[in-house]
Each structure stands twice: as structure tokens, then as C-alpha cells.
Copies of this chain bind each other. A is one copy, B any other.
Amino acid sequence: MTKLCGLRERKKQQTRSALVDAALALFEAKGFEAATVEEIAAAADVSPRTFFRYFTAKEGVLLAVHDEEFARLLDAVDTAPTLAEAVIATIDGDHERFRRVQELLARAPALRATFLERTVEQEHQLVDKLLPADPTPQQVLRTRLLVAATYAALRVAIESWLTTPDSHCAEHVTEALALLDQGLAVTR
């Protein structure tokens, strides 16, 4: 992670974390749109101006969480034999916060929009990582499709998961990926 040697750095991580917690709580309490940056900043005991020094936008607080998960996925890709397994391994991280964020996403379209956009960027990074040096156009297309389809399945699986009480996310993801893999008969 980031180096936490000095006092300065420690304080920074502290307020950053305070902002994330405050935002998460407020978003859950009154909805993403209704919660204002002013309130979040007040709850974290900083000025609104400072909020925007930590995050570029109101959604940034949650995107940060998203990015952490993606970083773990990138690591998992190195050790797991397939992308699908890397995805499943990553999901088995901190259920708690993951579920909270996903439930917020289900209720806030504006938030969902930003996340989807970020996901597209992550797809590109993932494709770059999975692609060998000097790939053929065929390989590029195949890899892009693989990643995009995997993310699509992930999205569908999360949707099922959230609407099925007492179920495990990883199971839904596994099922969706398996179904995807055995063919969808798109053109038939």
C-alpha cells in the first residue's frame, strides 16, 4: 500500500477513511442524491473544500472502494489460472463493504452510471494485462470480448444475488460464468 511513515501520511489516511465511512453511512441513510458533500465533510470534520482534495467528485468516495477491489482482481489474475477464477477469488474478500456498495448502486442510478464508466476503464486495463506482446487482431478482439462478457456476467450475477435473500455472491457468479461458457446461442 502507501507508505505510512510520517505523521502527515497517517493523518491523511485517517481523514480519508473518515470521509469514506461518513459518506457510506449518509448515502445509506438518506440516499446518494439527498446526501450533500457539505454533510459528509461535516461528519468527517473537514471543510467541503477539503473533501474535493481527496476525491474528485461526490461519487469518488465509492469509486475508491471499487478501485481497491479492482487492484485485488489484478493481483488475483497473476495467480489464478483463469479470469473467471480470479474474479471469484476477488469477490471472497470483504463481503461487508462490497454488499453495502452494491446495494447503494441498486438504488442510485447516477452512482451506477459512474461505476459503469469506471468499469469500462478497468476492462481496458485488464485486456492490456491479459494480452501478450504483439497480439494479433484476432487475439485482441477475443480478449476484449472475454473481458466484456465476463464483466457482463458478473453484473447479471450481482443483480440475482441482491434479489435473492441469504445467498452467496460467489455462487451466483460461478453459475453465471458457467452458463456463459457453455454457450448462449446468440446467433441461433
Are B181 and A177 within 8 A (Cβ)?
no
| Count of chain A residues near B, Cβ 8 A | 40
**Nearest CB to that of A151 among chain B residues?**
B152
A65 at the interface (CB under 8 A from B): no
Per a CB cutoff under 8 Å, which of B84, B120, B159 touches A112? B120
A3 at the interface (CB under 8 A from B): no
What is the copy number of this chain in the assembly? 2
Per a CB cutoff under 8 Å, which of B148, B160, B187 touches A84? B187
Are A181 and B186 within 8 A (Cβ)?
yes
Which of A28-36, A92-100, A138-146 lies at the interface? A138-146
**Nearest CB to that of A117 among chain B residues?**
B113
Contact of A149 with B153 at beta-carbon distance under 8 Å, contacts A82-B188, A181-B183 already known: yes
A131 at the interface (CB under 8 A from B): no
A contact face: mostly helix, strand, loop, or mixed? helix
Contact of A148 with B141 at beta-carbon distance under 8 Å, contacts A113-B114, A187-B178 already known: no
Per a CB cutoff under 8 Å, which of B110, B160, B183 touches A183? B183
**Nearest CB to that of A118 among chain B residues?**
B113
Find chain B residues with CB under 8 A from A117 CB. 109-110, 112-113, 116
Are B186 and A150 within 8 A (Cβ)?
yes
Per a CB cutoff under 8 Å, which of B82, B152, B183 touches A152? B152
A184 at the interface (CB under 8 A from B): yes
